[in-house]
């Protein structure tokens, strides 16, 4: 082998390596360009569809609405709020509802349940059922004696009338982890009317999701009984329906007598979240959650 051939071997190897590198880089460039073209075509197609929809007189929000209406299969547990980090919380799962219990206040932070049309009636009525301590939570805890001569009703959050479909559910609705001290006039009046309205909505719509609980404003709170059960200053209820086009609405009731139209208590779910510090319906897709939680129109439900 002469000297010229010896020199040519490494040069050939170097050239082959360079060509391979060029081919690799070329492939990467082709791939990157292809992805960019695909992205641009997708964007163009989306914009074109929007323009055609607008020209046809369709709702510009069709994409969001379509996605919302596509919630045919609502996630399990959609009624459960996000975990609380600013207060005590013990989650208790019952036959009909889930409750977040606060051992500091001896109250539920919230109670959440799904109410279907089938669950709005049943043979299991409240007659003969006593209110009961919930032995699944630590002492001190609320007892019947705390309410005796307190001037307050033992107010249900998940109502007894929502639990007639099951004997076990009916009995569990009388556990004190589902109860708050409530003004009698409110309990028997406007609060009861809203409970009845929710059952009507469930019958009409097929299914709704409800979260209810006490509101404790800043400052010192009144308590009742030996176990110092806190008396809420107000109560909230938020309602979600995912049948068809999703919608939600919130209500806030002061813990005092009142005889007012339901519309006077209406708030958006966003506003109830701001007041309570609770994040409702976090399992919903973000765009759907943002849309329905900003609404505060009782006419959408009538």
Tell me the catalytic residues: 156
Could you tell me if 126 and 90 are in contact, meaning their C-beta atoms sit under 8 angstroms apart? no
Backbone angles phi, psi at 54, to 5 degrees: -65, -40
Please name the residue that has the structure tokens 């709005």.
Answer: 120
**Cα 57–chain centre separation:** 33
The CA distances from residue 2 to 5, 117, 152, in Å, are 6, 96, 110
Could you tell me if 235 and 273 are in contact, meaning their C-beta atoms sit under 8 angstroms apart? no
Write the DSSP symbol of residue 174.
T
DSSP 85-102: SSS--EEEE-SS-EEEEE
CA–CA separation, 4 and 112 (whole Å):
87
CA–CA separation, 212 and 157 (whole Å):
6
Peptide bond into 187 cis (omega under 30): no
CA–CA separation, 68 and 59 (whole Å):
14
Please name the residue that has the structure tokens 């076990």.
Answer: 168
SS3 139: coil
CA–CA separation, 292 and 240 (whole Å):
8
């Amino acid at each position: 082998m002469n000297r010229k051939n010896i020199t040519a071997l490494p040069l050939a190897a170097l050239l082959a390596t360079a060509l391979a590198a060029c081919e690799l880089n070329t492939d990467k460039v082709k791939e990157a360009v292809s992805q960019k073209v695909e992205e641009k075509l997708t964007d163009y197609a989306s914009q074109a569809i929007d323009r055609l929809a607008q020209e046809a007189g369709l709702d510009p929000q069709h994409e969001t609405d379509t996605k919302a209406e596509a919630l045919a299969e609502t996630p399990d547990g959609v009624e459960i709020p996000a975990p609380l980090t600013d207060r005590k919380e013990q989650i208790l799962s019952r036959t009909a509802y889930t409750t977040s219990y606060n051992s500091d206040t001896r109250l539920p932070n919230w109670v959440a349940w799904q109410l279907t049309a089938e669950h709005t009636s049943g043979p299991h009525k409240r007659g003969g059922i006593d209110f009961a301590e919930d032995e699944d939570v630590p002492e001190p805890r609320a007892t019947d004696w705390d309410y005796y001569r307190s001037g307050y009703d033992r107010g249900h959050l998940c109502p007894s009338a929502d639990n007639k479909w099951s004997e076990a559910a009916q009995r569990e609705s009388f556990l004190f982890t589902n109860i708050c001290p409530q003004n009698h006039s409110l309990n028997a009046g406007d609060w009861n009317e809203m409970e009845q309205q929710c059952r009507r909505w469930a019958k009409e719509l097929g299914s709704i999701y409800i979260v209810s609980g006490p509101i404790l404003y800043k400052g010192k709170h009144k308590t009742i009984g030996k176990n110092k059960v806190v008396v809420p200053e107000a109560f909230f209820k938020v309602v979600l329906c995912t049948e068809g086009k999703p919608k939600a609405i919130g209500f806030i009731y002061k813990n005092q007598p009142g005889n007012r139209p339901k519309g006077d208590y209406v708030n958006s779910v966003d506003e109830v979240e701001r007041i309570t510090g609770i994040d409702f319906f976090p399992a919903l897709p973000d765009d759907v959650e943002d849309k329905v939680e900003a609404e505060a129109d009782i006419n959408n439900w009538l």
